[in-house]
Chain A
Amino acid sequence: MLEIQRGVIELNNEVIKLQDVTAGYKTVTGFKSILKRYQVVLKDINLTVSKGERVAIIGESGSGKSTLLKVIMGLLKPIKGEVYVYGKQIYKLPWRERVKIIRKIGYVPQDPYSALNPLLTVKHAISEPLEALGLKDEIIEQRVREAVKFVGLPQEVLNSTPDELSGGMRQRVLIVRALVAEPEILILDEPTSALDVSIQAQIINLLNDIYSKLKTTMITVTHDLAVAQYLADRAFILRNGSISEEGPIDQILSNPRSEYTRKLVLSYYVTSFKNNKSVGTE
C-alpha cells in the first residue's frame, strides 16, 4: 500500500524524464544532411529528476554532458527515445508550444565569457526573459532590481557592459538572468570551472543559498567531483555518452560501485589536498 502511494507521488513529481534517449550531431551538412548520418554522442540514456531535487551530472570532458542538457532543453532532437518535461513530450510539440514549457527552466551556460552579448548592458540581458513574457517595463525594472539584490550584486552593475565585469561577476549576472523569470528548474553547466577558487567558493555558497531559499530543482553539470558534492544530493556518472552509475552523491564518492567511478575518485585525490576523513575507495 505504502509502496503504491509513494509511486504515485513520485510520478507526479517527475519534472524531467528521459527514456532510452540516443542523441548526436549530424556529420554531414548542406544538401547531404537529408541523409541523416549521425555521430552518436549519447546512448540509451534513462534519467528522471523529481521536483525539488538537486542532481549532478558528472563526466569527463567530451563525455556528452552539455549535449545531454541540450536534449533536455529542447534544442537537440534525439535520434531515438522520448524526452518528457513536466509530463509533456517536448519534441512532439512545435517550437512555440515547446518554449512555453522550456521557460520553466533557468539555464546558466558553460562559458560566462560568451554568454553575454558584449554590446548590451547587463540590465538589458537580465530583463530579456521577462520581456519575452510580455511584462510591462515598470514591472520588469522592479523585478530585475530585486533579483540583482537577491544574489548580492550592487545595483550599479545594471548599467555596465559585460567586458567591464570579471568572470565571477558575469557568472552571477547569468545566475540572476536565469532566476529572474522565477523558473522551477535551474540548470547549471559547469557553473564554476571558469572561475578561480575563491570566486568558485562564492558561487557555490550563492547557489546553496538560492536552493535553501527557493527550493528550485537544480541540475548541475560538472567534471569536478568536489563541486558536485556541494551542489547535489544525487549524481549520474556519464561515461562516453552512457550513464555508468547513478545514486546518492555521498555513496558514489565514498563507495563507488563501478571501476570507472573509482578511478575518477582516486585521480581526484592525486591533484587535491589529502583529506583526513579518508574515503573508502580501496
Chain B
Amino acid sequence: MTLPSLYSRIMRRNLRRTRFKIGVALTTIIVILSIIAPLIAPYPSEGYGYVPANASERKLLPPSTQFPFGTDALGRDLFSRVLTGTRTAVIQAVSVILISLLVGMIIGVCAAYFKGLIEVTLNYFTELFMAVPSIVIALFLRLTIGQGLHVVIISLVIAWWAWYSRIAYVYAKSIVELEYVTLAKLSGLSALKIIPRHVIRNIFQALTVQAISDLGSALLEASAINFMGLGLPPGSPEWGVILYEAITERGIEAFLFSPWLVVFPGLFIFMTTLGFSLIADPLREDLDPRLRRRWKLWF
C-alpha cells in the first residue's frame, strides 16, 4: 500500500469533513437560536424593540453580567435584541433564496426546453433583471409601499431570481440536448412530465448547492438594506437595523465609545454567513467534476 498518497488523501477528505461539520454545527446553532430566541432572551419584549420603563437609567451600558452584550441608546438589552434578530435573519435569507430559486429555475428551464421565440424572450427578460441592484429596488419600494419584511424579501428576489434563471438555463441547456430527453419526447410524453423528471431533477443538485452557498450573501444584502433604513422599521429585531440605529443615533462615536453596539450584531452576521459557506464549499467541491475523484475512464 502506498502510505504517503493514502495519508494525504485521507487528510484531505478529513479536512473537508471537518469544515463541513463546523459549518453544520454553526448553522444548527443559529437555526435553534432562531426558534427558541424569545424563550431564552432575558428581556423578550425588549428583543422586539419595546423601550423598557426604566430606560433612562440603563442607556448605553457596557457588557456586564446583567446585560451580556450591553445596552443600546434607548436602554434596551442588546443581547435580547441580537438573539431575537436570529429569527429574522434566517427567515430573510431562506425565503429570499427559496423564492428566487423557484422562480429562476422555472423560467430558466422553460427557456432551455422550449427553444425558439420563448427562449429568446425569456433570456432577454432575465438579462434585463440581472442588471438591477437590490438596493435601488428597495429604495423604490420604500418610497411606494413603505417599510417591512416584505420590502426586503421582494427587492432581493427581484434582484436575485435572474441569477438562478441564468444558472438553471445553462445547466438545462446541456441536459435538453441529451438523448434521454429526446427519447422521452419521442415516446409522446408531455413537457409537463419531461421537465420535472428529466431536466429539473438533473440540475437540481447543482442549483441547491449554489443556493446554499448564496444564503450568506442573501443575509448580507438583506442586512445592508436594513442598515440603510430601507427595509424593516427601526426597533425591529434585525442585525442590520441594530447597526443602523447605532450609527444614526451615535454617529461615528458608536465605534469609539460603545463598540459593543456594532461588534455583537456584526459578529452574528459573520458567524451565520461563515456557517453557510462552510457547508456549501465542500458540497461544491463534490459537485464540480474537476474536483471529483470518482470519474470513470471506461473505453
CB within 8 Å of B: which residues of A?
Answer: 30-31, 33, 73, 75, 99-100, 102-103, 105, 107, 109-111, 114-120, 125, 128-129, 131-133, 163, 166-167, 177, 181, 194, 196
Contacts and interface: CB of A to CB of B under 8 A. Distances in A.
A76 B123 CA distance: 23
Nearest to B198: A117
B197 interface: yes
B56 interface: no
B189 interface: yes
Interface residues of B, number: 21
13 contacts: A102-B186, A102-B188, A105-B186, A107-B186, A111-B179, A114-B180, A117-B201, A128-B187, A132-B188, A133-B188, A166-B298, A167-B299, A177-B183
B187 A132 contact: yes
A161 to B, nearest CB: 12
A119 B183 contact: no
A196 B299 contact: yes
Contacts of A194: 299
A128 B183 contact: yes
B120 interface: yes
In the A-B complex, list the 9 residue pairs whose CB atoms are closest, starting with the nearest.
A115-B179, A129-B187, A109-B179, A99-B188, A132-B188, A132-B187, A117-B180, A132-B189, A114-B178
A119 B184 CA distance: 14
Contacts of A111: 179
A118 B120 contact: no
B182 interface: yes
Interface in B144-183: 178-180, 182-183
Contacts of B14: none
A119 B175 CA distance: 13
Given A117-B201, A119-B201, 9 more contacts: A103-B188, A109-B182, A110-B179, A114-B178, A115-B178, A119-B202, A128-B183, A128-B187, A194-B299
Interface of B: 116, 120, 123, 178-180, 182-189, 197-198, 201-202, 296, 298-299
Nearest to A109: B179
Contacts of A115: 178-180, 183
A102 B185 CA distance: 10
B55 to A, nearest CB: 59
A3 B184 CA distance: 43
A31 B120 contact: yes
A182 B116 CA distance: 33
Contacts of B188: 99-100, 102-103, 129, 132-133
A167 B298 contact: yes
A131 B189 contact: yes
Contacts of A196: 299
Contacts of A118: 202
